[in-house]
Structure 1
Amino acid sequence: MSNKSNIFLSGVVEGFYGRPWTMSQRTELFRREQRWGLNAYLYAPKDDYKHRMYWRDLYSLEEADQLMTLISAAKEHNVEFIYALSPGLDITFSNPKEVAALKRKLSQVCGFGCRAFALLFDDIEAEMCPADREAFGSFAEAQVCVTNELFLHLGEPQTFLFCPTDYCAAFCSPSVQLSAYLNTVGEKLSAGIDILWTGPKVVSQDISVASIEEVSAVLRRPPVIWDNIHANDYDPQRLFLGPFKNRPTELIPKLRGVLTNPNCEFEPNFVAIHTLATWCKSSCGQKDVPMDGDDQDYNPHEALQLALTDWLVEFGRANQPDGCGRPKREEEEPMQTDGFVPGPRENPLYTAEPLALEDLTLLAELFYLPYEHGAAALAMLEDLHWLRSNCSSAHESPQGKEWTRRAEKFDQMCGAVVQMFNRLSNVPNRIILYDLYNYICDIKSGVTMAKAYVRTLGGRTPHPALALTDDPEPWGFRGALSGEFQRMLPSHGKRDLFRSPPSTRVYTIRPGTPKDQPEVERIFREMQTEAGLEAEAELEAGLVGDRLVEAQVLPSHWLILEAESGVCGYALALTDAKTAMTKAQYPEAMLQDYPSALALQIHSKVPDHDVAARLILQVLSGLRDAGSKGVLMVCVCVSSGSKGVFSEFRSRDRRMIDFLKTLNIFQVLEVEGLPTNLLIMGTKL
């Protein structure tokens, strides 16, 4: 482990794709960071040409002046300016001229007053050119060699960050612990260099203490978290205004730092950065559990309210973007409404309602987090789902009273969204408004159409512009070409955040019979062919799952997954795996903990992971009732209710392995004598 005693890095990384922030926005960021107790800024905008695409080019005099001004502004506010370079798109690591170009570029920035640096190799192809393959044993070795040389060239600065190509657990093959790439980085990268890590995924829902301890052991140092929980550059229709959460404060002493890579729009990041600062200032006594309790040192809900309360003040500051109308000065002509008083029978003057904290709370709950809707959004979705599912009782009594009550409640919630939109549209700070406007306009249109739809279900006629017809206005269908593609793809909706999305497919799970044997073998062969594993399957027909599929051994439990088109999955379980073995394939100690076997296959045309989960849970329930201590799986699986599970995979079966990784249940197990083309994954339940 590194013995660096530097302070905990906390702050912001400008590392998203899209329009970079302006110089004035970055200066404002430094002011906010200082005010809230954060201390770092990582300069890494993907669309800055000389950061990534043209990394070899030196800065012009004008550009140099801007960077020097920015670095000075960061120092003035006690924020460490970390300059990053991303040469991975086209660098030849073995070419001394390329390394010299890197040194020349970073030396130039060092001359601007910068003393902290980063070298990033994220989001690039992992293939080496022929010259690099001759010079280095691996891609990781090439990166580490160049990075160490630059670190020495710059005089071993106190802050030097390295972003690996495999920067999250999902990218590590076959696992974090067994990743040859990460182990090379951990072993050979200079101990004075810190490593960036995004967690289990690129956008991680949770980052646990156990996961950080695991990667720290491989990297031989605590990582710096590059946190994408508030990033929105992958979806132009999403904005994230929820609090920093699902990162226990017990992580703080186990990390080198946390940098949030937030929304592309600058002003909406007030919440993301403010709540991160609250988290960083929390004590380190919290356990590794979700942070929603009342007795914990960091409470996301309270942190959000603190941020929104401070943000509300910013909305009230008159602030206009350049070129827009400005507040009236004394010497200007009065507006036409000044002094006008309508008569008793005339329309009253329009009066803008002031923005309230409740409006900002509603806004945050409508645009919460990538894996979670806020309370208000979830309530609206649940009510709309219920109203649509029970519309047949809208005109019946007494069920009709409940339907009417919930319809009125939904109508009121839609009205609150429209009111929030109107109040936001009149705030003095137009800079914040314009960063938010596309999002609030979109959600206002969406709830207005939903409101009209509910009125139609209740027998009322909505405004003609909102009526759902075969020839709608353009605002009646969202998403343009992207939306058309998504609605046509079988995977659309499988990751909906709403807990009870309407089902669009009907599947049946039923007991299997000998008549299903041909269909079981057909699915097995099709999936083997699709993965290119026919030859391996023939060479290793001794696997327990293969013998179950081919009916060489009769299963103790047998379930079939069936759709309208026919059989599309199966689960074959055997209570005692030893009965299917012709030799001692695995250590006796492992078989004592996991005596049962399960062969599972879900056809690739089935997009719904929940269906697979239900199929497996039923089989595991049967095994548990039969007294099984565990389960051996020869394909992909989800497990619950069993005391232990281990799975046997052919290592080139990427579809199954990736499927299992998305479930975040199994870990790779080390089994002595295992063939190199097999992979064992397991979990204790």
Structure 2
Amino acid sequence: MSAAKPQPESPGGPRRFIRGVVEGFYGRPWTMEQRTELFKREQKWGLNTYLYAPKDDYKHRMYWRDLYSAEEAEQLMALISAAKQHDVEFIYAISPGLDITFSNPKEAAALKRKLDQVRGFGCRSFSLLFDDIETEMCAADKQAFSSFANAQVAVTNEVYLHLGEPETFLFCPTEYCDAFCKPSLSQSAYLLTVGEKLLPGIDVLWTGPKVVSHYITVESIEQVSSVLKRAPVIWDNIHANDYDPQRIFLGPYKDRPTELIPKLKGVLTNPNCEFYPNFVAIHTLATWCKSNTDGGLRDVEMSEEEQDPGYSPQAALTQALTDWLQEFLNTDQPGGPARLKKETSDEEPMQTDVGDGAYVPGPGENPLYTAEPLTLDDLKLLSDLFYLPYEHGATAKTMLQELDWLRTHSRAATAETDVTAEWCARAQQFDNMCEAVVQMFNRLSNAPNRRILYDLYNYICDIKSGVGLARAYVKTLGGAHGRASARLLTDEPEPWDFRGGLSGEFQRMLPCHGNRDLYRRPLMTTVFSVRPYCPEDKMNIQKISREMQGAGEDKAPLMAQLPLMSDSLSAGDLSPSPQCALVLEDEAGVCGYALALTNARAAAAATNLQSVVTDSVFAEFPCLITVQLLPRVTDLAPATRMIGQLLDSIKSNGCRGVFCELRHSDRRMLHFYTKLGSFKTLQDAGLPADVAVMGISL
């Protein structure tokens, strides 16, 4: 085992780059055994720091004044000793901000007494954390200090000096990211005070633009360094999952350019609550930290990682998963499956009735179940499914895109032959991807290292269930009606058929639920309803028609446009066929409509209307439809549902072909029909230059 190579030196002398792990999440703290294992990994991978800050250690945060008991002291001393044995710097953090009275000398004395106790355990590095607390000072502090920042800085400086100015002393501000700065980072009176008055030997923790930062840029670090008058230590929450019990992050350390390294004092990752799945997060951070130790600085654009000569997130991920696979296959673990190799023993076996030998299935019987070994591809798939807070892995994105396409084009499965073939082929590909998830689950479940499995089990069960529902839904779209697909259609589903419990129900009732999904689709924040047309709707439909025909800079005035049959249908000069007219409503009223004439040629002849389509079009597509939507309908899903209902009604009336007339200037409706996928542009030599006709066979 060897540590990473030394970091570049600063003008003031050798620069120790802090690189390691902070145990700073909310939830069950790691065990002493797990922390010791962490130290071994840090030493092996070249990391050098561990920050002890578990939020649920009562004496770290809630009861910070209380000294550790003899038993607790023994554990902490053993932990500090283990860190030293593996060349890992142990930083003890304390969070007094919940209820400290800064102006009371007894409070500062209690803080010193507590840290003196930990110093007696052998700890030489410390941290004061004032994150996630209320910013309103009590009356006594308001009298003693001009600001909240002044109060924190005064106590921090006092404690730092009392401890003899430790080489490593970290301070976490209350405004610990750009998003928390008031009114902005450069104008934050709080941070400006911290930068001006905090003693220069104290380093400041910083999470980046946000609490969980997607990107951390050189420019943002240069800006905060200017305000703080020192390079920050990044407390990185990119792999933290304590804010969402349904998510875990197994993607690589990324979206932080390696040219950050000389501009920082260090980087500490605050990873997943579950210890064993953090293998990838910590391993790839170590690779990132080493990327600047050879060959000088490199200009790295993380969005073009494959061209990055210094650090490739995907290469780092592959190496981490390759090493992690060996951990999964380690059979020397408590609770694992029995070893296949028979161990010698002088004792008689308890079961001696083995005269019939091992069971062998007969002809036509079920074969014996064989547990297949876990593979690197399984772990790559696992990582893709549980990637990063702002990004799904490649396979997960492909599955979402395919499911979206299959859902959108499901009607095409019963239309033209070539479209049907494409839909079926893509449905089969989606099913194969779902099957890969199931097989990955099975192989993970049989992995010898049960400790890793148990940390992952809830997550892989959940994704297997979600993928299973999507798989059944696609089979339903394709016409299959098995037991699983039938569950999707019932009004009383099993509890495992819906996700999220009470929290999910609360979110679904909120107006913006879903607008932060990583797979972006047009957001529907309004409740729409589709209902049959009634005579009272005539004026609203006429108003929508006039408004949309006159909208757009490139549209001619309504009176100057070539008249179409669909204009007469929208204007009320032609009445839609019975049961062939629908309107779309939102909270503000009618916002769209879909009208149809099942025998358009006869309707035109009866009213002496001149049609732009020829008799050959009427012969194959006798029915005319017209659809229009107001601009406030930004989600086309309700309109798609409306036209689907209209086509079903037309088909039930015996019509086997439908056409629509569109002006080229009406780009929005051209896009709508094109996106449906089932309407095809019809070639008709007699059409005017500014008119398009599209049709569908039912």
User: What TM-score bracket applies, with the shorter chain setting the length?
Assistant: 0.7 to 0.9
Equivalent residue number for residue 371 of structure 1: 390
1:351 aligned counterpart, secondary structure: coil
1:293 aligned counterpart, secondary structure: helix
Question: Do residues 310 (structure 1) and 329 (structure 2) align?
Answer: no
Question: Do residues 7 (structure 1) and 16 (structure 2) align?
Answer: yes
CA contact under 8 A between 1:382 and 1:500: conserved in structure 2?
no
1:101 to partner: Cα distance: 0.3
2:414 aligned counterpart, secondary structure: coil
Equivalent residue number for residue 151 of structure 1: 160
Structure 1 Cα separation of the partners of residues 13 and 108 of structure 2 = 26
After TM superposition, the structure 1 = structure 2 runs for residues 663-674 of structure 1, keeping only pairs within 5 Å, are: none
Structure 2 Cα separation of the partners of residues 181 and 608 of structure 1 = 42
Structure 1 Cα separation of the partners of residues 379 and 394 of structure 2 = 13
Deviations 1:351-383 (A, max 9, x none): 100000000000000000000000000000000
Which of the two has higher C-alpha Rg? 2
The alpha-carbon distance between structure 1 residues 403 and 325, as it changes in their structure 2 partners (threshold 3 A), is closer
Equivalent residue number for residue 393 of structure 1: 412
* 1:317 maps to amino acid: N
Structure 2 Cα separation of the partners of residues 608 and 69 of structure 1 = 61
CA contact under 8 A between 1:224 and 1:257: conserved in structure 2?
yes
The alpha-carbon distance between structure 1 residues 135 and 439, as it changes in their structure 2 partners (threshold 3 A), is same
Equivalent residue number for residue 57 of structure 1: 66
Deviations 1:586-623 (A, max 9, x none): xxxxxxxxxxxxxxxxxxxx9999xxxxxxxxxxxxxx
* 2:438 maps to amino acid: V
Deviations 1:45-89 (A, max 9, x none): 000000000000000000000000000000000000000000000
Equivalent residue number for residue 404 of structure 1: 424
Equivalent residue number for residue 67 of structure 1: 76
CA contact under 8 A between 1:37 and 1:277: conserved in structure 2?
yes
Question: Do residues 174 (structure 1) and 183 (structure 2) align?
Answer: yes
1:565 to partner: Cα distance: 4.2
Give the one of 275, 282, 286 matched to 2:284. Answer: 275
1:469 to partner: Cα distance: 1.3
1:52 aligned counterpart, secondary structure: coil
Structure 2 Cα separation of the partners of residues 391 and 321 of structure 1 = 49
Equivalent residue number for residue 660 of structure 2: none
Question: Do residues 428 (structure 1) and 441 (structure 2) align?
Answer: no
Question: Do residues 266 (structure 1) and 275 (structure 2) align?
Answer: yes
* 1:232 maps to amino acid: N
Equivalent residue number for residue 209 of structure 2: 200
The alpha-carbon distance between structure 1 residues 235 and 336, as it changes in their structure 2 partners (threshold 3 A), is farther
1:453 to partner: Cα distance: 0.4
Question: Do residues 129 (structure 1) and 148 (structure 2) align?
Answer: no
1:265 aligned counterpart, secondary structure: coil
Question: Do residues 458 (structure 1) and 478 (structure 2) align?
Answer: yes
Equivalent residue number for residue 312 of structure 2: 299
The alpha-carbon distance between structure 1 residues 512 and 104, as it changes in their structure 2 partners (threshold 3 A), is farther
Deviations 1:91-147 (A, max 9, x none): 000000000000000000000000000000000000100000000000000000000
Structure 2 Cα separation of the partners of residues 390 and 247 of structure 1 = 39
Equivalent residue number for residue 82 of structure 1: 91
After TM superposition, the structure 1 = structure 2 runs for residues 125-524 of structure 1, keeping only pairs within 5 Å, are: 125-283=134-292, 284-287=297-300, 289-290=302-303, 292-321=305-334, 327=339, 330-331=344-345, 333=350, 339-396=358-415, 397-464=417-484, 466-500=487-521, 503=524, 505=526
* 1:351 maps to amino acid: T
The alpha-carbon distance between structure 1 residues 3 and 470, as it changes in their structure 2 partners (threshold 3 A), is farther
Structure 2 Cα separation of the partners of residues 438 and 498 of structure 1 = 22
2:307 aligned counterpart, secondary structure: coil
* 1:425 maps to amino acid: S
CA contact under 8 A between 2:527 and 2:587: conserved in structure 1?
no
1:318 to partner: Cα distance: 1.8
The alpha-carbon distance between structure 1 residues 56 and 295, as it changes in their structure 2 partners (threshold 3 A), is closer
Deviations 1:434-480 (A, max 9, x none): 00000000000000010000000000012257443111011111111
Structure 2 Cα separation of the partners of residues 486 and 185 of structure 1 = 38
* 2:303 maps to amino acid: P
CA contact under 8 A between 2:511 and 2:525: conserved in structure 1?
no
Structure 2 Cα separation of the partners of residues 414 and 89 of structure 1 = 47
Deviations 1:634-670 (A, max 9, x none): xxxxxxxxxxxxxxxxxxxxxxxxxxxxxxxxxxxxx
The alpha-carbon distance between structure 1 residues 4 and 143, as it changes in their structure 2 partners (threshold 3 A), is farther
Structure 2 Cα separation of the partners of residues 173 and 180 of structure 1 = 8
Structure 2 Cα separation of the partners of residues 205 and 88 of structure 1 = 27
The alpha-carbon distance between structure 1 residues 18 and 319, as it changes in their structure 2 partners (threshold 3 A), is farther
Structure 1 Cα separation of the partners of residues 96 and 427 of structure 2 = 56
1:483 to partner: Cα distance: 0.8
Structure 2 Cα separation of the partners of residues 118 and 350 of structure 1 = 54
1:41 aligned counterpart, secondary structure: strand
Structure 2 Cα separation of the partners of residues 172 and 231 of structure 1 = 22
* 1:473 maps to amino acid: E
CA contact under 8 A between 2:206 and 2:234: conserved in structure 1?
yes
CA contact under 8 A between 1:4 and 1:192: conserved in structure 2?
no
Equivalent residue number for residue 692 of structure 2: none
* 1:440 maps to amino acid: I
Equivalent residue number for residue 105 of structure 2: 96
Deviations 1:304-324 (A, max 9, x none): 0000000000000125457x7
Equivalent residue number for residue 36 of structure 1: 45
Structure 2 Cα separation of the partners of residues 607 and 112 of structure 1 = 65
The alpha-carbon distance between structure 1 residues 83 and 470, as it changes in their structure 2 partners (threshold 3 A), is same
CA contact under 8 A between 2:526 and 2:587: conserved in structure 1?
no
* 1:109 maps to amino acid: V
Structure 2 Cα separation of the partners of residues 287 and 266 of structure 1 = 30
The alpha-carbon distance between structure 1 residues 607 and 294, as it changes in their structure 2 partners (threshold 3 A), is farther
Structure 1 Cα separation of the partners of residues 180 and 225 of structure 2 = 16
2:323 aligned counterpart, secondary structure: helix
CA contact under 8 A between 2:300 and 2:308: conserved in structure 1?
no
Task: Give the fraction of aligned pairs with identical amino acids, expressed as a percent.
Answer: 68
Question: Which consecutive residues of structure 1, in runs of 5 or more, have no partner in the other structure?
Answer: 514-562, 568-605, 610-685
The alpha-carbon distance between structure 1 residues 341 and 468, as it changes in their structure 2 partners (threshold 3 A), is same
Structure 1 Cα separation of the partners of residues 433 and 350 of structure 2 = 41
1:487 to partner: Cα distance: 0.9
CA contact under 8 A between 1:372 and 1:497: conserved in structure 2?
yes
Structure 1 Cα separation of the partners of residues 379 and 352 of structure 2 = 30
Deviations 1:489-520 (A, max 9, x none): 1111001100335646599999999xxxxxxx
Deviations 1:33-53 (A, max 9, x none): 000000000000000000000
* Length-normalised TM-score, structure 2: 0.71
The alpha-carbon distance between structure 1 residues 387 and 512, as it changes in their structure 2 partners (threshold 3 A), is closer
1:329 to partner: Cα distance: 5.2
* 1:382 maps to amino acid: Q
Equivalent residue number for residue 24 of structure 1: 33
Deviations 1:543-594 (A, max 9, x none): xxxxxxxxxxxxxxxxxxxx94459xxxxxxxxxxxxxxxxxxxxxxxxxxx
Structure 2 Cα separation of the partners of residues 109 and 66 of structure 1 = 11
